């Protein structure tokens, strides 16, 4: 088999599961691969790319995150040559006709719906396919699986899930011959530790969370006995300080480490405290190399912007071997941190949980600051599967023989609960599929009504629902039989009726508004198309249009107050009309028993307006109302939204709005925003 030549060319021996999965791909089958983080699933994708290129075919590699797409683009470019690898992420298009194209999953979904020629594509890799259970974006993965041309084989790479067999059965029902390859063995064994500060001994203790016992691993009984020594009125044990943990890990030679916190501010503050404590984790040669590479990685940023971004403070951390990593940082800063950490120059990264979502940054040790996180409404304890995902970065394959997962003591979480969370486990994959407005108009455009209903009935959500119903009947529970129309199809009908009443569909055909909705992919797409149709966006100057559209792109991290007033009278009038339209749409959705579309939020409007008027970054961010990374990401989202508005305006024959959208893109695509798209 051709794939064997690929594995024989490697400087290491591939695992049996990697070879088996690649053999299935060469036989023309789709595959589902589930394996722990760091087990080498990407090598299967590399083998699939090798096969496609050998057959003079194309291969698409999809990821859930732009940052992960950028990373894979760079990795594959280094292997196959930059001219043979492309990138499509909505706000970035590079070599789109290349034989290997990396993209976000939404881009592939949009290509399928728009009728793009995929005849030369023989393989699609769906990385992090367990993302299909994401409440907001998960449906995209199912749309790709359902609608991709039948000649395309799928390589689905997933973290360990408990119902991988069920998912494979569904995929087989949609795509034909499909094989499940499960790897449960971690390439690097994980030791789980409990860390506590002893006030009496004035030191950090590190004890194993689990001990070998008859019948397997058991929670360490010595820990609750130790905690019982209260020491009189004063509590003897407490959560260790982060600087103390770092020093202790350095003493035990357990660095490099990823220290997970569930707060951006906590990440920055912790990195600063390590520096302030005088902790040095690098030698002179490492500091020189860090400075050289940091300067190279930020050379495309203007010096005045670097000053505004706190470059000197950031570099001072790096030179000590410490960094923060979170979504509030601009892409260049995050990418430098990732590169330096992977090469062993950064020893400790304080990171939010987004780092666990696919970015390749293995460590010797992973520290969990706490076992609970704020969901936006309340604090919730982690699930065992989430603990497994976060600690999956512990242990560098080919470097470490064992990885270490450290949980810090909390007086608010009983040891028994802590030990149950730290069980290495997985959770079932649950579909989040639901018909959206964009999905519905694309179904109308491409299929008959009967075909569309059949495709919806073929979703993983329906597949799971049918299985649940069969199990319920099998237990003789006395439940009523399932109605042949499902909840999903009922919701589809309610969505269709709303679009008909609002003039976007008639007799299973698209009206102009429906055609425009096909090219708008925002979750506020229907509201945006109707705003165009109602003339709410007409006549706005470029800065005003950017400001108003930012309300569709911006989502505050917490419930945030709306700013008082708008920069101009036309904007104030447009916003009033938009609010009235949004309220009308919400009332219609409520009448049709559909989820109410979120309201646009004007919290970014003044920033977008000022940026379009070329106000400099320092003045824009001086009040600290938004992190620089959030500013770049939101503005790039506005860029993408302006492109969609231009496309929709063209469909609706609104030539002036199409031109205005182009001018607004030019106005905001500058400086640090342009740099945010550099790969």
The verdict on residue 430 lying in a domain is no
> Listing from the earlier edge strand, what are the strands of the sheet with 85-88?
93-94, 85-88, 100-104, 58-63, 121-126, 153-158, 30-34, 178-182
- Please tell me whether residues 37 and 127 are part of one structural domain: yes
Q: Last residue of a domain, which of 498, 517, 536?
A: 517
CB 425 within 8 A of CB 190: no
Contacts for 451 with CB less than 8 Å, ≥ 6 apart:
none
pLDDT digits (tens, 9 = 90+) for 388-432: 888 988 998 889 999 999 999 998 888 999 999 998 778 889 999
In a domain, 427, yes or no: no
Say whether both 593 and 639 belong to one domain.
yes
**Neighbouring C-beta atoms of residue 36, cutoff 10 Å:** 23
Provide the pLDDT for residue 388. Answer: 87
What contacts 24+ positions apart, CB below 8 Å, involve 270-275? Answer: 270/242, 270/324, 270/350, 271/317, 271/322, 271/323, 271/324, 271/350, 272/313, 272/317, 273/242, 273/243, 274/242, 274/243, 274/246, 274/317, 274/320, 274/322, 274/348, 275/316, 275/317, 275/320, 275/322
Nearest Cα neighbor of 113 from 405, 439, 388 is: 439
Q: Which of 452, 486, 517 is the last residue of a domain?
A: 517
Using DSSP, state whether 119 is helix, strand or coil: coil
Whether the full predicted model's pTM is greater than 0.85, yes or no, is yes
Same domain, 360 and 461: no
Residue 53 inside a domain? The answer is yes
Residues 393 and 249 in one domain: yes
Kindly write down the DSSP assignment for every residue of 409-431, as one continuous string: --TTS-HHHHHHHTS--------
Percent above pLDDT 70 for the chain: 96
Mean pLDDT for the stretch of residues 592-609: 95
Q: Are 662 and 668 in contact (CB under 8 A)?
A: no
Q: Does 248 share its domain with 379?
A: yes
Q: Based on the domain organization, do 593 and 660 belong to the same domain? A: yes
Residue 604 shares a structural domain with residue 615: yes
Q: Is residue 448 part of a domain?
A: yes
285-320, pLDDT tens digit by residue? Answer: 999 999 999 999 999 999 999 999 999 999 999 999
Instruction: Report the alpha-carbon distance of residue 163 to residue 36 in Å, rounded.
Output: 15
Backbone φ, ψ for residue 367 (5° rounding): -110, 130
Q: Say yes or no to pLDDT of 282 above 60.
A: yes
For residues 524 and 511, membership in a common domain is answered with no
Check which CATH number belongs to the domain holding 384 and give it: 3.40.50.300
Q: What is the pLDDT of residues 479-534, one digit of tens each?
A: 555 557 688 999 999 999 999 999 999 999 999 999 999 999 999 999 999 999 99
pLDDT at 358 over 80: no
The pair of structure tokens assigned to 242 is 């982060």
Q: Is residue 386 part of a domain?
A: yes
Same domain, residue pair 178 and 194: no
Q: Where are the alpha helices (DSSP H) in 622-654?
A: 628-651
Domain range for 217:
189-421
Total domains present in the chain: 4
**Has residue 261 been placed in a domain?**
yes
Does 428 map to a domain? Answer: no
From first CA to last CA, the distance across the chain in angstroms is 36
Is there a single domain that holds both residue 526 and residue 512? no
Rounded to the nearest angstrom, the gap between the alpha carbon of residue 263 and the centroid of all alpha carbons in its chain is 17
Of the given ranges (114-118, 308-312, 336-340, 476-480), which has the lowest mean pLDDT? 476-480
> The CATH number of the domain where 627 resides is what?
1.10.3380.30
578 membership: H or E segment, kind and range:
helix 569-591
Mean pLDDT of 598-623: 93
Q: Does one domain contain both 176 and 245? A: no
Residue 426 lies in a domain: no
Same domain, residue pair 247 and 163: no
Domain final position from 129, 162, 182:
182
């Amino acid at each position: 088999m051709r794939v064997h030549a690929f594995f024989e060319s490697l400087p290491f021996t591939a695992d049996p599961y990697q070879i088996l999965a690649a053999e299935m791909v060469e036989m023309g089958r789709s595959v589902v691969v589930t394996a722990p983080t760091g087990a080498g699933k990407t090598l299967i994708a590399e083998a699939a790319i090798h096969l496609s290129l050998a057959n003079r075919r194309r291969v698409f590699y999809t990821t859930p995150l732009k940052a992960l797409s950028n990373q894979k683009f760079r990795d594959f470019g280094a292997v196959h040559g930059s001219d043979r690898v492309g990138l499509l992420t909505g706000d970035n298009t590079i070599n789109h006709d290349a034989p290997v194209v990396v993209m976000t999953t939404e881009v592939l979904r949009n290509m399928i719906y728009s009728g793009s020629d995929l005849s030369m594509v023989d393989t699609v890799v769906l990385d992090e396919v367990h993302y299909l259970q994401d409440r907001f974006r998960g449906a995209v993965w199912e749309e790709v699986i359902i609608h991709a041309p039948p000649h395309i084989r799928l390589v689905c790479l997933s973290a360990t899930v408990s119902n991988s067999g069920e998912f494979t059965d569904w995929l087989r029902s949609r795509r034909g011959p499909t094989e499940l390859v499960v790897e449960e063995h971690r390439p690097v064994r994980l030791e789980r530790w409990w860390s506590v500060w002893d006030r009496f001994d004035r030191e950090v203790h590190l004890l194993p969370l689990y001990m070998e016992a008859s019948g397997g691993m058991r929670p360490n009984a010595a820990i609750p006995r130790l905690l019982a020594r209260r020491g009189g009125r004063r509590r003897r044990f407490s959560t260790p300080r982060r600087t103390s943990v770092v020093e202790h890990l350095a003493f035990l030679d357990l660095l490099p480490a990823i220290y997970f916190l569930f707060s951006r501010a906590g990440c920055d503050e912790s990195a600063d405290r390590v520096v302030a404590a005088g902790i040095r984790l690098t030698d002179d040669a490492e500091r020189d190399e860090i400075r050289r590479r940091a300067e190279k990685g930020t050379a495309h940023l203007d010096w005045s912007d670097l000053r505004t971004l706190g470059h000197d403070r950031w570099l001072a951390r790096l030179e000590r071997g410490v960094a923060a990593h979170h979504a509030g940082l601009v892409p260049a800063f995050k990418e430098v941190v990732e590169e330096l950490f992977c090469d062993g120059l950064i020893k400790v990264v304080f990171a939010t949980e987004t780092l666990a979502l696919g970015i390749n940054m293995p460590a010797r040790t992973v520290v969990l600051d706490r076992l609970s996180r704020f969901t936006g409404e309340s604090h919730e304890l982690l699930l065992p599967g989430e603990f497994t995902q976060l600690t999956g970065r512990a242990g560098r394959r080919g470097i470490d023989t064992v990885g270490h997962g450290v949980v810090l003591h909390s007086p608010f979480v009983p040891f028994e609960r802590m030990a149950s969370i730290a069980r290495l486990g997985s959770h079932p994959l649950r579909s989040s599929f639901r018909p959206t407005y964009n999905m519905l108009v694309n179904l109308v455009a491409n299929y008959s009504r009967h075909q569309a209903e059949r495709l919806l009935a073929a979703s993983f959500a329906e597949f799971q629902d049918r299985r649940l119903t069969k199990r319920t009947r099998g237990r003789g529970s006395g439940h009523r039989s399932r109605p042949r129309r499902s909840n999903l199809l009922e919701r589809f009908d309610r969505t269709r009726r709303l679009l008909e009443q609002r003039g976007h569909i008639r007799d299973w055909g698209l009206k102009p508004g429906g055609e425009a909705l096909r090219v708008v992919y925002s979750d506020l797409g229907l509201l945006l198309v109707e705003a165009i149709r109602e003339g709410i966006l007409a006549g706005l100057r470029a800065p005003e249009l950017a400001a108003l559209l930012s309300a569709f792109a911006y989502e505050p991290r917490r419930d945030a107050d709306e700013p008082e007033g708008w920069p101009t009278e036309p904007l104030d009038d447009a916003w009033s009309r938009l609010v009235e339209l949004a309220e009308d749409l919400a009332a219609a959705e409520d009448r049709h028993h559909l989820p109410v579309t979120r309201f646009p939020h004007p919290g970014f409007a003044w920033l977008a307006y000022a940026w379009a008027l070329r106000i400099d970054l320092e003045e824009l961010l001086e009040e600290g109302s938004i992190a620089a990374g959030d500013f770049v990401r939101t503005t790039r989202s506005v860029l993408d939204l302006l492109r969609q508005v231009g496309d929709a305006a063209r469909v609706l024959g609104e030539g002036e709005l199409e031109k205005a959208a182009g001018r607004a893109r030019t106005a905001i695509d500058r400086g640090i925003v342009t740099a945010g798209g550099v790969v």
